[in-house]
Structure 1
Amino acid sequence: MSKLASSLIERRSRPDQVAPRVFAIREHLGMSKAEFSEAVSVDRSSLTKIEKGTAGLDIAVAERIAELFGFGLDFIYRGDLADVPLAHRPEILSLMHSHRTTL
C-alpha cells in the first residue's frame, strides 16, 4: 500500500484506538486490573499501558479476551460493534466514551 493510501485510511487498531475498547470490556465485566490481567495472562503494568494507549495489544492477549469473555477480535481491534453481544452494547459504548473523556 502506498504512503498516501495508508495515510488516508484510519488505523482503528492503533493503541490509542484499542485502549478504550479494552478498558470498556474490563469495566463492563466489573473486574479490577489485577483480576483482568491475571485472567488474560498479562502483567498489570502492561494492561495499564494498553488501557492508556501507550502500548499495543498483543494478538495472543486479544484472543484470550475474545475466548474468555465473548468480545470478538473485530470489536477489539477495529471497533466493530457487531462483534459485541447485543445486550452489552449500550454499556460498552458508554464506558468507551467515559474512557476517552478522562484521558
Structure 2
Amino acid sequence: MEETSIGVFSILVMICPMGKAPMPKMDHEGIGSRLDALRTATGLEKGVFAESCGIDPSSYSKIIKGEKALKVEMGYAVSVRWGVSMDYLYRGTLEKLPPSFASSIITNLTGRDA
C-alpha cells in the first residue's frame, strides 16, 4: 500500500491486481474533519447541524470521529443543505466552497487563515 498524505486530505491508495487503476481507500477521518469544519463554519451546535441535514446526532458524532462512514445519501443532504460539493466532503476539494464558509472551513482544517 502506498500512502500520500497532505494533512486531513490524506489519500491511501491500494494497487489493484491485474494492472487495474489504483483504488482509493476511503479516508473516514478526513471526511469527518471536513464535515465538522463545515459545521463549525455554520456556527451551529453538533446536534442542530446534524438534524439540519437529516443525520442522527449520535451517528454524526461517530462520523466526525471517523468511526462510521458518511453514507452517500447523508453527504448529498449536507451538500444540498449547505451548498458544499460532494468532492469537498469525500475528497477534500476546496474549490467552489460557498464564499460565506470558505475562509472558516480552511482555517478549521489547516489551523491557518485562508
| TM-score between the two structures when normalised by the length of structure 1 | 0.79
| TM-score between the two structures when normalised by the length of structure 2 | 0.72
Higher strand share: 2
Match in the other structure for 2:44: 31
Unaligned runs of 5+ in 1: 99-103
In the TM superposition, structure 1's runs of 4+ consecutive aligned residues that sit over 6 Å from their partners are none
- Tell me by how many angstroms 1:87 deviates: 4.7
Residue pair 1:73, 1:83 contacting (<8 A) in 2 also? no
In structure 2, the residue corresponding to 1:81 is in which secondary structure? coil
Q: Please tell me whether residue 51 in structure 1 is matched to residue 64 in structure 2.
A: yes
Residue pair 2:42, 2:101 contacting (<8 A) in 1 also? no
Structure 2 CA distance for aligned equivalents of residues 34 and 87 of structure 1:
21
Q: Please tell me whether residue 2 in structure 1 is matched to residue 34 in structure 2.
A: no
Indicate the RMSD between aligned Cα atoms, in angstroms: 2.1
**Aligned positions, number:** 95
Q: Please tell me whether residue 21 in structure 1 is matched to residue 45 in structure 2.
A: no
Structure 1's 36 and 88: CA in aligned 2 closer, same or farther, altered over 3 A?
Answer: closer
Match in the other structure for 1:101: none
Structure 1 CA distance for aligned equivalents of residues 90 and 96 of structure 2:
11
| Counterpart pick for 2:73 among 51, 56, 60 | 60
Structure 1 CA distance for aligned equivalents of residues 100 and 42 of structure 2:
13
State the identity as a percent.
25
Residue identity in the other structure for 1:29: T
Residue pair 2:28, 2:67 contacting (<8 A) in 1 also? yes
Unaligned runs of 5+ in 2: 1-14
Structure 2 CA distance for aligned equivalents of residues 74 and 89 of structure 1:
14
